[in-house]
Amino acid sequence: MPNALTLALIQFAPDFSDKKKNLSRIANLTKNIAADILVLPELCTTGYAFASKSQTAPLAESLDGETVRFFQALAKEKNALLVAGLIEKSGDEIYNAALICRPETERVAIYRKTHLFYKEPLAFDWGNSGFFTVKDEARDISIGVMICYDWRFPEVTRKLALAGADLVVCPSNLVTDVWRKVMPARAIENKVYVAIANRIGAERLGEETLQFSGESAIFHYNGATLAEAGKSTEQVIFAKIEPRKTRQKSINSENNIFSDRRDEFY
């Protein structure tokens, strides 16, 4: 099993509501990438600024749809664990979701965004998947997923870390840079790698213009920045990570940041 893995984040500006074009762009953007883990932004196949379910419903797909098949094939082609944001349909529900694919299996995992931001409840249903980790035996890594606004809640990263995550990834469509002050702390307090795959560009939402802030980043479990993208550039960033090193939570001979927790008082 590998000791070090290559993690790649793909930062770009999806074309609003043009799924076919975005899938083609993703294929081109990843064409020459060699990595063990690929992470794309939130809603990378459709864009973000939806104001109603009448807009998201025609773009939503079930887990046996074209988009999932595309990402399954891409994961297999690249021999990589892959995480990507999409609009998922399940029955009558429509979710802002993230797909987790492994090349060794046709089975996929789906995380549905728990904390919807701003006007997202107009276009999406509240996520009900809960927070979980995906164990990739071939790469000896456990990965946890959250989406964008979920970062505001420290319980999310802690829950994923307690569930065994070595790496927490956050596909995003962020419009501020406040998260840059917080995510290194999430890495430190849980001793996990943290990766934010953000997008660039702008979209109209009613009378507003949403300007996405880029600066996708990968943080070491000690809080150091391993890689970061620019504010407005289409870019792929890479970092080497060593998942096994996150699993020992001791900080000295006497203290362990997980076993020292006294959650009966929290």
From the list 44, 88, 101, 113, the catalytic residue is 113
Q: Which two tokens stand for residue 164?
A: 């065994």
Enumerate the H helices of 44-93 as residue ranges.
53-56, 66-78
* Rounded-to-5 percentages of helix, strand, coil across the chain: 25, 30, 45
From the list 19, 42, 120, 228, the catalytic residue is 42
Distance CA 173, CA 47 (A): 9
Instruction: State yes or no: is 113 an active-site residue.
Output: yes
Residue tagged 């276009």 (tokens): 123
Residue tagged 């213009």 (tokens): 209
Distance CA 48, CA 43 (A): 6
Distance CA 47, CA 224 (A): 30
3-state secondary structure of 234: coil
Q: What angle do CA 113, 114, 120 make, to 5 degrees?
A: 65
From the list 44, 101, 148, 170, the catalytic residue is 148
Instruction: State yes or no: is 42 an active-site residue.
Output: yes
* Residue in 119, 184, 127 with CA at minimum distance from that of residue 150: 127
Q: Which residues are catalytic?
A: 42, 113, 148
